[in-house]
Amino acid sequence: MTGRTFWGAWLIAGGAFCACSEGQGVTPKARPDEPDAGVLEPRAGDRPAGVATGRDAGPLRGDPDSGTELDFTGLVLNEVDYDQVSVDYTEFVEIYNGAATALPLDGFAVVFANATDETNRVPLTGVLPKGGYAIVASPMVKVSADAGVVLRFDMPATSNAMPNTSPVAVGLLDTEQGLLFDSVSFGGAVTGVAVVGVTDPLDFVEGTGAAADSNALERSLGREPNGVDTDDNAADWSASKTPTPGARNVLTP
């Protein structure tokens, strides 16, 4: 991460956005073994039961300007809709911040992949509040009426921005480390993917791949319970007839 003044954007009535300074942002406790400011290497941490830590990248990321660390435990991909009936005009990916504090998303990107290659990506910026949701969405996606603070990012295209032919995958990429922080495969296991800017191929599946989306039903795929990551896509993700972009998942099989 760079800088200590973060800017957040959130959706307000009428679809407008507001960008507001968060001042000095979050200043967590510095590591005792790193007293001097500088770039800190990621450090593995113990994963509380049912909570994601970032499978490859580790839960802690250093801020090179302040020498402090932010704990990203609980930052997860939370809901996805990549295949709709007819033309895919309402694709979206939702990210949930289940961490104990607000988190800057600078340095992360949402990456889409087919069985072998990255197909698209969306860089992320801004600060996601504790308990908040960010969505990468097509213009026609409407945020849930009961949504809280939401960061919104545009899909690379107004339709069919995400691959449909199984298996497909979505990853939350730490672009600074070239590692996947969280990922999900649908319709099979997506492994050995060539990702732009990353030397080694990346595996997008956690455990067993989740069930595929459907182009015959209007539904989304989301974590159930909301925000919980046991590192097994098949166990964590379920189909729901009630998409809730920008809000808590509602399971209606």
Dist CA 74 CA 50 (whole Å): 10
The domain tally of the chain equals 1
CATH number of the domain that 70 lies in?
2.60.40.1260
Q: Which residue has the higher pLDDT, 10 or 57?
A: 57
**Is 158 part of any domain?**
yes
Indicate the pTM of the whole model: 0.76
**Is 135 part of any domain?**
yes
Report the mean per-residue pLDDT for the chain: 79
Which of 67-76, 86-95, 121-130, 155-164 has the least mean pLDDT?
A: 67-76
229-240 mean pLDDT: 97
160-184 mean pLDDT: 96
Q: Which residue has the higher pLDDT, 18 or 66?
A: 66
Q: Which residue has the higher pLDDT, 27 or 115?
A: 115
pLDDT of residue 58: 56
DSSP state of 239: E
Whether residue 201 is preceded by a cis peptide bond, meaning omega within 30 degrees of 0, is no
pLDDT of residue 145: 72
**Is 148 part of any domain?**
yes
Which residue range forms the structural domain that includes residue 135?
A: 7-20+52-240
Using CB atoms within 10 A of its CB, is residue 236 exposed (0-12), middle (13-18) or buried (19+)? Answer: buried
